[in-house]
Structure 1
Amino acid sequence: MQPANILIVEDESIVAMDLSYQLQEMNYQVCAIADNGKDALAMIEQHRPTLVLMDIIIKGDMDGIETARHISHRFHTPVIFLTAYSDMHTVERAAQTAPYGYLTKPFQANELRAAIEVALYKSGLETRLRESERWFATALRCVADGVIATDKQGLVQFLNPAAEGALGWKLADAKGRPVEDLLLLRNPRTGERETNPISRALQNNGVVGIEFGTMLAARNGQQRPIDDSAAPIRDVDGNILGAVMAFRDVSERLAIEQSLRRSEEHFRKAFDFAPVGMALISLDGAFLQMNAALCRLLGYDQMELSAMYQSDLTHKSDLSIEKQQLATLLSGGLSTVQFEKRFLPKSGNELWTLVSVSLLTQGSAPMCYLYQIHDLTERKNSEYELARLAHFDTLTGLANRSRLLEEADDQILIARRQNTGLAVVFLDLDHFKEINDNLGHEAGDQLLQEVGARLKAAVRETDCVARFGGDEFVLLLPNIHTPDDVSNVVNKILADFTRPVMLEGQPVNIGTSMGVSLFPGDGKNAKTLLKCADSALYQAKAEGRNNVQFYRAELTTRIEQRFKLEKELRHGIEHGEFELYYQPIVSLTGSEDICAEALIRWQHPELGLLRPEMFIPFAEETGLIVPIGDWVIATACAEAAGWQKAGKPVSVSINISARQFKSGNLTQKIRQALAGSGLDASLLCLEITEQFLLQDTEQNLALIGELKAMGVKIAIDDFGIGYSSLSYFKRFGPTQIKIDRSFISGVIDDMENAAIVRAIIALAKSLKIQLVAEGIENRQQLAFVIEEGCDKAQGFFYAEPAPAEVFRRNWVEAVTA
């Protein structure tokens, strides 16, 4: 509980400081000290103290009593006077401000504490009372019924807004008037004036009412029928303080009742020809009368139904709730009840309906029930479908992630109770993305459906198969005793997946990697088990895919290392830890053009300079290659533009990943880099892998077309290790081919490698495509590619990749000198 926040108003600073010290010793909080009334009011406005300790004689124009009067009026903050004056005049003046205490100096600390605690308690009570009064007054002002309150003489003390509107009197005008001046009531049948209910309530000391529909004449003469009641207001001893009357306009209700009487004949016709089933049912449940729609709904004719009770056609599970609903009607708790129930029609199929039941009476005696019966078949089917969509995957029909988690929690409870094991198998399809990209999404969906069917066929009915998302599936295998039980299942799945799947008319081989976690050894809850199974799955993929790995504790460490690397990569991107190195591409035909390939390095804060093979594969996997690639494009263009502006143009090659092509904004990024740096587009060459050619999509063709239209060159990197054909070269039209270093390294000792290189060179020459030999490390290799007619060479024989400044000094400046 927060300590009381106290303001001290005392003109003697020594006294004030001593008082402040005493209060703090008592564990109170002193928010401020003032020595005059003006400052005291300002400090209350600022600090909103819980209590004010006020000396009567203070500095300024106002004394303590006048200041207390302002405090009470503006802030309702409790005040205790601390003063040396106790003369009657001073006490009388102080009393008029309704203080919460009056202590005469000198006083003891315990007297001060007692006065403060009593004041705080009293203040709390009064605050709650004021809030209660505000609640009550607000409620009265908001209700739609008119409310009038009088004193015990029948003089008006209160009108709420509804009463003001109905009577035509404002409270300011009506207050203090006899209530008879405001309330003119007449009998609805005779027109004679009625005795005022408030007067009767005061006279009889009890609750009274009037005849329903009694006419109330407003101040302007307008009359309206009302219903009301009045009751005396008593104090705690039962003494009458006054009376209150509440009334409401029943014009609308009377009009409705009159309309209902006129519509009885219409009701009969509506009953017979209503499109929904309707029936009059006796109090004991027999069919008395039914319309044609109900006969069609239940499949019985009127004669057959007349010999039946409605309980004969009700599902036994719904009898009790219907009995309760009808009891509510009979007790008068509600005029109509509504509930769902299942009928048993002649067809024998359960029929879900929504039933509305009203009790028909004669006077106050119940006669029978009116049933309205709506067919819910379509709605129930929709609800079932929505429930299915909420818990099952629409594509495969398997449980979805939400249903899997529910089932996992249930199975863990069962396993714990029965002291048995549970296995979680997390699997995904190997190379599903390539299948989806190459054969299309329809083929991908077809594959997922086939996988779901095979998984269902491979497990027991008690096992749960779920599609977790994308190409990820999860199996829950309950009642597991040993890891061998799981191995039998997953080996069966691996064997079954060796059968090709027919997609787009062609057989496609599929593989799957699986990770397994076991309850209770690997985790005690679904979240932990899924996390462990996912870690094991990652290890299975890392070990060559199409295999199964059981979770081991060290796998979590590897996952954490991956998260750490991803975090560090993001930090490196945000804090400029990357640098471009340049390796020259040398002309073998005598050209003086300077070319170079830009190669990224990471200046890791802990590990030092890292080569791309240390982090680029992971960046590709996580998608961070896109922002890294954007930085490479911008930086390479900026540095090459600097050499161009110095009159020493260098053609720069940049490696572009497939992810960058698919990001959707590669063209925009390159255009921005060229425009921002001022680099001539002809000095920029984008290197794409041969594998990228195999993804022969119209989008890729269009994108490369845009780049070439800008003047940017396109090179095929690592050529020879893929399976591209001449048709791809014709469609993509590359500017340059770079022979993979794996072939160059063996041209001297390996006749097959030499033959392949000769064939690639011959192909390039026939297509008039410039050729670059990568990985030149010695004179013999250089002599071979020169003899065979290669255009350019790149490799450690000439230079290792170097920072931009070193490359500029050793190659740009040296060659152009």
Structure 2
Amino acid sequence: MLVIMLSISLVIAIYTTITLSIEKQVLSKHINKQVEMSLITLSNNIAPLMQAYAINEYKKIILNEARERNYQAIVVYDNQFAKILNRDNYVSGVTKVNGEISEYDEEKGYLFGDEFVITSMPIESPNGEEIGKVKISVSDSIITDKMYESLFHAVLSGLILNAVILSILYFLLQRFVSKPLASLKLQLEVDEVNAIPNQELKLSGYNEIDGFIRVVNQMFSTIKATRMKLLEEQRDLNSVIAATKIGTWYWNIKSGEVKFNERWAEMLGYRLAELEPLTFKTWEKLCHPEDFVQSEEQLKRHFEGSLEVYECQCRVQHKSGQWLWILARGQVVKWEKTGEPIEMFGTHLDVTEKSHAEEELRMSASVFDNTREGILILDNLGLVRRVNEAFISANDYSREELLGHSLESILDESESQVRYAELKQKVLSNGFWRGELWLVRKDGQVYPELVSITAVRDSQNRLSNVVALFTDISRLKEQEKQLELLALYDPLTKLPNRNLLVTKVSELLKFNEFGRYMAVLFIDLDEFKKINDSFGHEVGDEALKLLASTLSKNIPSNDILVRWGGDEFIIVLNNVRSEAKVKSYASKLLNIISTMRFKTDLIHPQSFSASIGVTMTEADSVTDIEQLIRQADLAMYESKLQGGNSMAFFNPEHDRSKRKRHAKKRQLEQAVSENELELYFQPKMNLRSNEVIGAEALLRWNHPDKGVLTPEQFLFDIETPAQQCEIGDWVMTQAVHQVSEWMKCGMDIQLSINVSSYQLDDINFTSRLRALLYQYKVPPSYVQIEILESSALELVERAQAVIERCQSFGVSVAIDDFGTGYSTLSYLRDLPADVLKVDKSFIIGLQKDSKNWGLLKAVMSLASTFDKTVVAEGLEDWDAKELLLEVGCEIAQGYAIARPMKIEQFNRWYRQEQVAV
């Protein structure tokens, strides 16, 4: 036994020696390899920092490396920095003694003495120049410590082995087998969670058992690797589920057990604990009844095998009561041998937004397919990608003939390439274009379309598509054409109107330069207003139609007959130079008119007479149509002065006064351009409450020589309607602008604006007024227009139309100087004005026993009958205030209240009055 023990001890000693030698070699190689890798890493990382003189930075790298590795010292020689310091070398680094790291001391030198490994590597610049080196020292104590440890384990193992051998020898075979097996049994005892040991089974030292242990260790290693892979896959799956916000569920069909993840509950606004206990009834309760039936049908088909995967889109109720669209998917993962399902896993995905988007897409597609307007969708190259049925029907092209072609291919040749290029540029720059284009149908017919083109850009603002909407405006164009005809012809008499006259005579005047002559006859019926007053406008219109027909039958074919307006007609005789012939023709017309007899079922035959004014062009002069008509009009008034039923030729001598007024006209034009015109404001007051309820805008001319002029001092010198309208528009613009300024200051004032007869006769007057209100953002109720009674009576139809048009968009209308004309009850009825401004002649000297008192009472009675407000003008004496109130007139303006004031004075006065009230 002793020999056996010695033999075993010798074998163990030899084995230990060989093992220690091999282990030292392996450890040495490992340390050398580690040092080599560290040198390479340090050299590469320190090189750029050394070049940048970033000493502190590469010291940090050295320190980190020393902390991570068990090196005795790391030293860096910096040639670059040494040159700067003018030294032979610059050394820095760290040392590690007993686990403590300290900075390398260059002065003490490198005095360790027990280095196992001292290795260095040059540090090179990118061009290969050596700029330093790094040196690593590993202490021999590392190897020694490892060898001592291994020797200790080897000796210990030998002692244990000897003890085991002795025990085996002592207890024979029983102890030889039982002890390793008992040790193995202890190592195989595991906790319930892991089911396998956390560490490898240790070898017993017995070959018979070690082979088995190695197999078991390999098996455990495979199981651990598989388990780790499964855990990683589970983590990845959980991450995917969390990122995609998918709810997951598990259902045991046999037991009824149901499991949901937390995301499933969050999707419906719950915490999972709020829904416990979880059963299949939980799903049934939350699912919409209609969709639950569909879900059951899909499950049945999946269980039967006709569907590989269960899938159903259901409405599920959110905690808030809202219904969400949920896409449910699942699959049976465990079956009974009989084919019955046991377990099933699945997902729930919130597709509410997707469902809504799909619904919007369906709606958009429905609109695209069913709208009456044609729609083209083009790509970013301008080629047609989609076209709806409305466009195809309107143009007779097939879908194939349009797809892949540009919009330009179906445009008429009249749409130039330049215009099309401008169109595309506007769409690209502004994102939108709207206008008219002429398209060509398949049969070659050209027709107009109103086209709206919109650019569609993607999330990166790149042009993706262009949408073009087409509306056929052929009928609208026809209507415009008809309107143009209406604009050139009088609707009552069917004769050309003044617009067409201007066009035709302007053309004739061009020929006049080459020796052509013409005469203009201005015809005005005498006392025609009496017919309208006595029998009404319908009878008057019939009389005008008869006159128009009569004149048409008695005018040469190459000459022109127009209705100028009201009861005025103009005849232009072309290529005539004999005054005698013109006079004879005019006399003939007077005779024809005087022999006319007009009758209806309601009136007796009526006779007519007319006054005719004549002017002729001269061979050596060329004039314009407005001058010719003015001259003929002036001559017509001369014939009126002769008693009517006569004619008169234009006399230049009678025009001298006109020339003077023309000079004043030029001065007024200069006044407009040099801002000499100004508005004054006179307030209107409620006499009962003393509240300022409005004001009237009054025009003044700050004449450089004559001082401040009122309109009566200069407006009557203006003869041309154009300049009258120009002045009127200036007043209207300034007045509306002032109202907007008052509104900004919180001054609630309605402003009255005087309108001339020329503005009434201007068909664009109400359009300009409405545009001004829109431009300055002024409510229409803040503006009132005042029309002179005389103007309203001269142009009854036009005045009525203007009043109704203004009232239709909220502007009130007042009749100014009421009572000075000869209006009848029928006029008062037909003119739907809101306010009657009683002329100041009724107010001045008002006494209770005066005639004015009785007239004023009559006016108030009429106003009450026709539901009109009355304003008293010219209140210059407060004594008349009580008399006005007594007859029911509560609103007045005049010097007793305040004189017309400049805007600054008016604003101060108004604020003082507001404080007083």
Q: Structure 1 length as normaliser, TM-score?
A: 0.40
TM-score, length-scaled by structure 2: 0.36
